[in-house]
Amino acid sequence: MENDCLFCKIIKGEIPSSKVYEDDDVLAFRDINPAAPIHILLIPKKHIASLAEVKKEDGELIAKMHQVVNKIADQEGFKKSGYRLIVNCGKDSGQEVMHLHFHILAGVKMGDKIV
Ligand code: AMP
Ligand code: ZN
C-alpha cells in the first residue's frame, strides 16, 4: 500500500467507489468517467505502479486478474457480447494513476481505432 496512491486509498475505503467485484487479491469498481456504457477498472490489491513494474513473482496474480475479468463479464452480463481490455503504461499511453489497472470496456460495438 502506498499512502499517496489514489487506488490504494480506494482499496482501503478512504475514497468511495462503486464496487463490482472484490476478493483477497483484487478489486473492481466503476470508472468515474466512463468511456463506454460499461467501464470497469480492475486492480490488484498489491501496489504495482504499472505494467512495467510487474515482476516474475506477480505471475499468478496477473493470471488471476484475467480470470476475474471473465468472472466480471459473466456477472455483469457482457460475456457473450464481448469486451475490450486496455492497460495504459507510462507517459505516452496517458497513464494517470500509477497503480496497475485493467480498463474493461463493454456495452457498445467498438471501432478498431485506438488513437
Ligand atoms: P489511466 O489514464 O489509465 O491511468 O486511467 C485512470 C482511470 O481512473 C481514468 O479512466 C479515470 O476516469 C479513473 N478514475 C480516476 N479517479 C477515479 C475514482 N475516484 N473512481 C473511479 N475511477 C477513477
Ligand atoms: Zn496503489
Question: Which of the ligands is closest to the CA of residue 46?
Answer: 2
User: Is residue 36, in this structure, part of any structural domain at all?
Assistant: yes
Distance (Å) of CA 12 to CA 45, 84, 109: 9, 27, 35
User: Is residue 74, in this structure, part of any structural domain at all?
Assistant: yes
User: Is residue 113, in this structure, part of any structural domain at all?
Assistant: no
- Predicted pLDDT at 115: 63
Residues with CB under 6 A from ligand 1: 6, 15, 17, 29, 31-33, 41, 88, 94-97
Nearest CA to 77 among 22, 33, 37?
37
User: Is residue 33, in this structure, part of any structural domain at all?
Assistant: yes
Total domains, the chain: 1
User: Is residue 112, in this structure, part of any structural domain at all?
Assistant: no
Which residues are catalytically annotated? Answer: 101
- Predicted pLDDT at 85: 97
What is the residue type of 29?
Answer: F
Residue with cell 515482476: 55
User: Is residue 1, in this structure, part of any structural domain at all?
Assistant: no
- Predicted pLDDT at 112: 85
Residue 18: which domain range? 6-106
User: Is residue 114, in this structure, part of any structural domain at all?
Assistant: no
- Predicted pLDDT at 2: 83
Q: What are phi and psi of 90, to 5 degrees?
A: 85, 180
Q: Would you write out the chain's pLDDT as a tens digit for each of its 115 residues?
A: 788 999 999 999 999 999 999 999 999 999 999 999 999 999 999 999 999 999 999 999 999 999 999 999 999 999 999 999 999 999 999 999 999 999 999 999 998 877 6
Q: What is the CATH number of the domain that holds 62?
A: 3.30.428.10
Protein residue closest via CA to atom 20 of ligand 1: 32
